[in-house]
Chains A and B, each alone.
Chain A
């Protein structure tokens, strides 16, 4: 029995905390660093009003907190970044609650993922549903210059639990090259949370791992 427990303990200690083992490399560049500590109020843009109206008509919730004509946004983001939570609900200080939304595609996580790069991440999550960090991969036809989407792979996909937990792992962009198309130097990504899911996120970091 004791031997079995030791064995289990040793194995457990050796197992990676998630489905991918995380590694630290000597040279890493921090490309995402979101602690969601500072928030500000900015005007709700016209497009957001239209979209918000449509969402409410469809019975969906708004993905941000608003008061009057302003919405609350985490500093560093240019478009809505969830709802601020603090106190007991938060992981540390303040966190962000995401529901039925995608965050960071324009601005914050724009053009940050190198197609042939290696990346390490760390994120604190809790909630009901799945946290995805999804890439938007498009390429230009080398001859005609025509743009085409190559795919939208999930770089990180985590089913959360109802308690805060820090998840770590690595990812690379899957090979989405097609003949005749030129991928850009870097692609954009966004946090995606589905309609019926409610995810809390904090301390989200991604490093680009140098070879």
Chain B
């Protein structure tokens, strides 16, 4: 081997072995977000010290990767040119969280080496920084040589600001502090700042309204009992010291144990119990840090700005945040300067600015400090509400005034009339270039004895057409000139109602609001007390407006930063990702976090409810207990019985009547759930997840040991009696047992069954447990939920360890575990088909997607483009998007740069497809019905247990290493792959359907038996009858060789239908009455073969169906030689006379090259490529070049052409409704009135800005359509443009209308 080849070989070997220890994608790849911080995204902020007098600072920040956005947040407020070293966590340097060898974060040697390289390079003494900021990273975890470099910089004059200095021990998931003392650490970071330093840093920040307990001595800190809760407020302790020529400042929030959970690295830990990111507090947190940095760099003005506000002489009681209950350990913070409203207007405030700093200008900004809820009062009686606001300023701007201080630096500011509430007065001194010399802010409260005490409504939620009837209670009887008004705004800020109220008493007033054409799931109802001087007080009640319509393609956040849960990151994550198609979020009803519904509604995200995680695994230790002994305590059947009682009566349980307890499952706990469900009913959800990766005990490992508790045993006895028709002898014969009484019957452990040769007893028992206890439990739970949330759909997340034959109207919705590997549309097809078939295609189904690993769907551009269409084509309604800077990682797990400025290319690829789908074609496809030829496939779930008893059979009931809990792999899966391959989609049926004559009633012509070794006599007879009457029955894998209990039969039950065939023969057909039975040898391992371009067996199946049942694909796809293609998933949906055809070529080796193919139809149709909105012609034989790209074709009997739009009026007044009508012209004479189509509608204002609230997709039939646009009471007068785009053809039409005030 020559040298270069040897070198290449060696490099390959090294890379091969090194590869698992690298991130995928690796550092430097455009799809790896680590160390990227463009800083271009602006968020709400006050530019406190930007631009900065004296010029920009140069700062180096050491901050965990997942919170590095906070550096940009600071830089919006302080003029600093930043360099960032992103580490893994507050308590870890390079070792953060990662999952598997294809994890997206950096890990192992790559993490260590890259971080070290960056840190050394950026801390090299060749650089000069004004300041280094450490963002809560433990001093202990920073490597010694890096600490030395930091201190070397400080020694020669660089300032150091350490936010929450700490010595947590190493470990990304640890929060324990080091036990030993470090005198150097104490000296550098824990010495109390003197009064002057403390004042200079903190004066100018209204700490009194911040949730911080200010400590002047570290010893004064008193922690609450562990575990430290995220609602526990932070403290503030300022330390300072000198190291060489550099100053060191510690801003210690004493929150290192919880900062990770609140995403706070440069700001104090903050999580209000009711959620929402308080932009004002967040802004002040960065202002405090900015002042700290200015002090450390000796750029802080030596003299402070002072603001004097005369306090009221009146003794006014303190007030609390009534929205928060005491149990949540939250202390609300209000100003301690209180001014009576009567002192306004023209209330004087004295401002004194130090003249030594020679300010050129002094600016005072008065803001109304909003409550923790979003201020949404446009159009209300407050004139301030309609004043235009600087786009990114937190709170509401009331006025901004330039002051002219006198020779002593004094200026008087006159404040206007103000309503009751908290206000902030900010003062900035500026130099000639508008550089900020200093800044200060103070808060005050405007008080009035008169206020709104309460606003309440007659119901807790409403629907379109309802009347909201409510009452306002005020503190005092109205004085002359006072009145109570009501307004309502939707979450788009539109004014939807305004009215007066009717007195119902001296302090009580009634109102009524009609809910008409709501465009959001929440209306803020505001009650105002006004007088001739303006607003006295206002109170807001958010009122849910129920929307149960879920007909749009969902792209959902899951286990991600979400509004109300993740501090600053939650709303930001949602707002950024919404632009890319995210339109929903998982809501944790399981933790009774009802406030999340409101947060999501405000951020225009639909709620998808995670209601329960039920199963027999009640605590983590249940996963690792001893499964070799019978479990006699856990009785899921008894819990089921309790739940069924609630479902029947709608009433709470009496704990005395139902004393049973299984972990947390008690009568009291169930009663608490009832209250939760009632509250949950205020908002819609496409389905309610009742379980995830939870199982019967031992089930995951195939060591099931539950079912021996009293209720389960009793039910098992009843079930056995039914199954064996009260014949104990028959049972004993089947089981090889000798029970004398039905009351003695009980389940059996697997080992005992093996030792006593009673495996059929075990089969019956385990099937009973899965079907009649586990699945029944969720049926009961669903019925209970429906008592309080009418028509709720329920489902699961995760594996397939359920009896799907029982989930016809229950549990038919789910998030299915599919995708994230190659050939998913083939391998995982059964996971999708089971709920669809048994749920009659009515369930809401989603797929999972994740940023945790760089798996197949993310790997290449083609795969990313395929994924959203694959989901749609398979009949699913969307997919989720897991994670996004939730965990302490070193890179990865995100689809944006970590500062949220730029999307990563891989996300854009996926998002572009999602956005396309969300422009109408998705909605059209989702409401269409899938084509289902009259082919049934029998899935009898007891065969799962029979198959487990035959571990070395040719092919099992399900395959893969998770065969206990997954249906992927195995004979049924292979049969479905084969059917999909020949483009004939079967419908799964269960034994009950066979026995009850459903096959005939539903008109099936073919019955497939891919794995039905176990079969009852009744089933066998029904199948025989089906064949005799003319049906075709096709079987593989020794059908009916065992009873349905698993006992091997001497003679197979269907030996008259299926005669044995030689192994080298593909099939053998027997005529049976008017029909046929065929035994085939071709189903097993078809999925594996297909993946290698080997379609052996497909033609056999196709020929059998054609010849003996006249079943052929209605749409065929052929290769260039006219032979049927077997490598393409073809999914057909019909809506009226519109046919939607999804084509997805399998990514086999031959798929590297496009293949010339022909799509053959039964008759000529007009064909559109809906993905590219391209007309392909009118034909019954479409020539296409089939590559790996997903294709969605729409076939129509007539061709839609141009569209026209017209409106009911060209000019409208605010508050009215505009009817828009349109029509589509069709070429040709074919009947167009059954052609279903979709429109994507948008409305733009006169500045060409889209009004997102009007964005919608409309499904219509025929050539005419119409829709309405409700114009709000606060609509800006002007001209508006309506644009309608045909979702299939892309043709557009526009019209305009004008809005006037009156």
Give chain A's interface residues, CB within 8 Å of chain B: 41, 43-44, 46-49, 52-53, 56, 62, 66-70, 144-146
Nearest first, the 6 A-B pairs at minimum CB distance are: A68-B949, A46-B961, A67-B754, A69-B948, A49-B951, A52-B952
Q: Of the candidates A43, A44, A52, A146, which one forms a contact with B13 in the assembled complex, judged by CB atoms under 8 Å apart?
A: A146
Minimum CB distance partner of A72 in chain B: B754
Minimum CB distance partner of A57 in chain B: B954
Q: Of the candidates B948, B953, B960, which one forms a contact with A68 in the assembled complex, judged by CB atoms under 8 Å apart?
A: B948
* With A145-B17, A146-B13: A70-B750 Cβ-Cβ less than 8 Å: yes
Best-surrounded residue of A48, A52, A68, A69 (most CB of chain B within 10 A): A68
Is chain B's binding surface mostly helix, strand, loop or mixed? loop
Chain B interface size, under 10 / 10 to 19 / 20 to 34 / 35 or more: 20 to 34
Q: Separation in Å of the B1091 CB from the closest CB of chain A?
A: 17
Q: Is B759 an interface residue (CB 8 A)?
A: yes
Q: What A residues does B953 contact at CB under 8 A?
A: 53
* With A68-B753, A146-B17: A43-B703 Cβ-Cβ less than 8 Å: yes
Give chain B's interface residues, CB within 8 Å of chain A: 13-14, 17, 701-703, 750-751, 753-755, 757, 759, 762, 948-954, 956, 960-961, 963
A-B contact pairs, 16 of them (CB 8 A): A41-B750, A41-B751, A41-B754, A44-B951, A46-B961, A46-B963, A62-B952, A67-B754, A68-B750, A68-B753, A68-B754, A68-B949, A69-B750, A70-B751, A146-B13, A146-B17
Q: A41 to B757, alpha carbons, bound, how many Å?
A: 13
Best-surrounded residue of A48, A67, A69, A145 (most CB of chain B within 10 A): A69
Q: A46 to B703, alpha carbons, bound, how many Å?
A: 14
> Contact at A41–B14, with CB atoms within 8 Å?
no
Q: What A residues does B949 contact at CB under 8 A?
A: 68-69
Q: A66 to B750, alpha carbons, bound, how many Å?
A: 13
Best-surrounded residue of B13, B762, B949 (most CB of chain A within 10 A): B949
Minimum CB distance partner of B753 in chain A: A68
* With A41-B751, A43-B703, A70-B754: A49-B17 Cβ-Cβ less than 8 Å: no
Q: Separation in Å of the A144 CB from the closest CB of chain B?
A: 7
Minimum CB distance partner of B751 in chain A: A41
Q: What B residues does A53 contact at CB under 8 A?
A: 952-954
Q: Separation in Å of the B965 CB from the closest CB of chain A?
A: 12
Q: A146 to B17, alpha carbons, bound, how many Å?
A: 8
Q: What B residues does A144 contact at CB under 8 A?
A: 14, 17
Minimum CB distance partner of B954 in chain A: A53
- Knowing that A43-B702, A52-B951, A68-B753 touch, tell me 11 more A-B residue pairs with CB under 8 angstroms: A41-B750, A43-B703, A46-B963, A52-B952, A62-B952, A66-B951, A68-B754, A68-B951, A69-B951, A70-B754, A144-B17
Minimum CB distance partner of B10 in chain A: A144
Minimum CB distance partner of A147 in chain B: B17
Q: Separation in Å of the B948 CB from the closest CB of chain A?
A: 4
Q: What A residues does B963 contact at CB under 8 A?
A: 46
Q: A48 to B951, alpha carbons, bound, how many Å?
A: 9
> Contact at B961–A68, with CB atoms within 8 Å?
no
Q: A70 to B758, alpha carbons, bound, how many Å?
A: 13
Q: What A residues does B950 contact at CB under 8 A?
A: 68
> Contact at A47–B961, with CB atoms within 8 Å?
yes
Q: Separation in Å of the B479 CB from the closest CB of chain A?
A: 80
> Contact at A68–B954, with CB atoms within 8 Å?
no
> Contact at A41–B702, with CB atoms within 8 Å?
no
Q: A41 to B948, alpha carbons, bound, how many Å?
A: 15
Best-surrounded residue of B703, B754, B951 (most CB of chain A within 10 A): B951
Best-surrounded residue of B17, B751, B755, B956 (most CB of chain A within 10 A): B751
Q: What B residues does A66 contact at CB under 8 A?
A: 951-952
Q: Separation in Å of the B367 CB from the closest CB of chain A?
A: 61
Q: A46 to B14, alpha carbons, bound, how many Å?
A: 32
> Contact at B701–A43, with CB atoms within 8 Å?
yes
Q: A44 to B750, alpha carbons, bound, how many Å?
A: 12
* With A53-B952, A68-B759: A46-B960 Cβ-Cβ less than 8 Å: yes
Q: A133 to B1166, alpha carbons, bound, how many Å?
A: 74
Minimum CB distance partner of B13 in chain A: A146
> Contact at B13–A49, with CB atoms within 8 Å?
no
Q: A67 to B750, alpha carbons, bound, how many Å?
A: 10
Q: A3 to B951, alpha carbons, bound, how many Å?
A: 65
Q: What A residues does B753 contact at CB under 8 A?
A: 68
Q: A52 to B17, alpha carbons, bound, how many Å?
A: 31
Q: What A residues does B754 contact at CB under 8 A?
A: 41, 67-68, 70
Best-surrounded residue of B948, B952, B953, B963 (most CB of chain A within 10 A): B952
Q: What B residues does A68 contact at CB under 8 A?
A: 750, 753-754, 759, 762, 948-951
Best-surrounded residue of B13, B754, B961 (most CB of chain A within 10 A): B754
Q: A69 to B703, alpha carbons, bound, how many Å?
A: 11
Minimum CB distance partner of B969 in chain A: A46
Q: Separation in Å of the B869 CB from the closest CB of chain A?
A: 33
Q: A15 to B859, alpha carbons, bound, how many Å?
A: 69
Q: What B residues does A49 contact at CB under 8 A?
A: 951-952, 956
Minimum CB distance partner of A53 in chain B: B952
Minimum CB distance partner of B14 in chain A: A144
Q: A146 to B963, alpha carbons, bound, how many Å?
A: 35
Q: Separation in Å of the A180 CB from the closest CB of chain B?
A: 14
Q: A68 to B950, alpha carbons, bound, how many Å?
A: 6
Minimum CB distance partner of B962 in chain A: A46
Q: What B residues does A52 contact at CB under 8 A?
A: 951-952
Q: Separation in Å of the B698 CB from the closest CB of chain A?
A: 10
Q: What A residues does B948 contact at CB under 8 A?
A: 68-69
Q: What B residues does A56 contact at CB under 8 A?
A: 952
Q: A62 to B951, alpha carbons, bound, how many Å?
A: 12
Q: Separation in Å of the A174 CB from the closest CB of chain B?
A: 27
Q: What A residues does B750 contact at CB under 8 A?
A: 41, 43, 68-70
Minimum CB distance partner of A145 in chain B: B17
Q: What A residues does B952 contact at CB under 8 A?
A: 49, 52-53, 56, 62, 66
Best-surrounded residue of A49, A56, A144, A146 (most CB of chain B within 10 A): A49
Q: What A residues does B17 contact at CB under 8 A?
A: 144-146
Q: Separation in Å of the B930 CB from the closest CB of chain A?
A: 33
Q: What A residues does B755 contact at CB under 8 A?
A: 41
Q: Separation in Å of the A39 CB from the closest CB of chain B?
A: 11
Q: A48 to B20, alpha carbons, bound, how many Å?
A: 27
Q: A48 to B956, alpha carbons, bound, how many Å?
A: 14
Best-surrounded residue of A62, A66, A70 (most CB of chain B within 10 A): A70
Q: A70 to B759, alpha carbons, bound, how many Å?
A: 11
Q: Separation in Å of the A106 CB from the closest CB of chain B?
A: 17
Q: What A residues does B13 contact at CB under 8 A?
A: 146
Q: A144 to B15, alpha carbons, bound, how many Å?
A: 11
Q: A56 to B954, alpha carbons, bound, how many Å?
A: 9
Q: What B residues does A70 contact at CB under 8 A?
A: 750-751, 754
Minimum CB distance partner of A46 in chain B: B961
Q: A49 to B962, alpha carbons, bound, how many Å?
A: 12
Q: Separation in Å of the B966 CB from the closest CB of chain A?
A: 11
Q: A68 to B956, alpha carbons, bound, how many Å?
A: 13
Q: A47 to B961, alpha carbons, bound, how many Å?
A: 7
Q: What A residues does B702 contact at CB under 8 A?
A: 43, 69
Q: A43 to B755, alpha carbons, bound, how many Å?
A: 13
Q: A52 to B753, alpha carbons, bound, how many Å?
A: 22
Q: What A residues does B956 contact at CB under 8 A?
A: 49
Q: What B residues does A41 contact at CB under 8 A?
A: 750-751, 754-755
Q: A143 to B495, alpha carbons, bound, how many Å?
A: 72
Q: Separation in Å of the B1243 CB from the closest CB of chain A?
A: 57
Q: A69 to B963, alpha carbons, bound, how many Å?
A: 12
Q: What B residues does A43 contact at CB under 8 A?
A: 701-703, 750
Q: A49 to B954, alpha carbons, bound, how many Å?
A: 10
Q: What B residues does A62 contact at CB under 8 A?
A: 952
Minimum CB distance partner of A71 in chain B: B951
Q: What A residues does B961 contact at CB under 8 A?
A: 46-47
Minimum CB distance partner of A43 in chain B: B702
Q: A52 to B754, alpha carbons, bound, how many Å?
A: 19
Q: What A residues does B703 contact at CB under 8 A?
A: 43
Q: What A residues does B701 contact at CB under 8 A?
A: 43
Q: Separation in Å of the A69 CB from the closest CB of chain B?
A: 4
Q: Separation in Å of the A206 CB from the closest CB of chain B?
A: 30
Q: What B residues does A44 contact at CB under 8 A?
A: 951
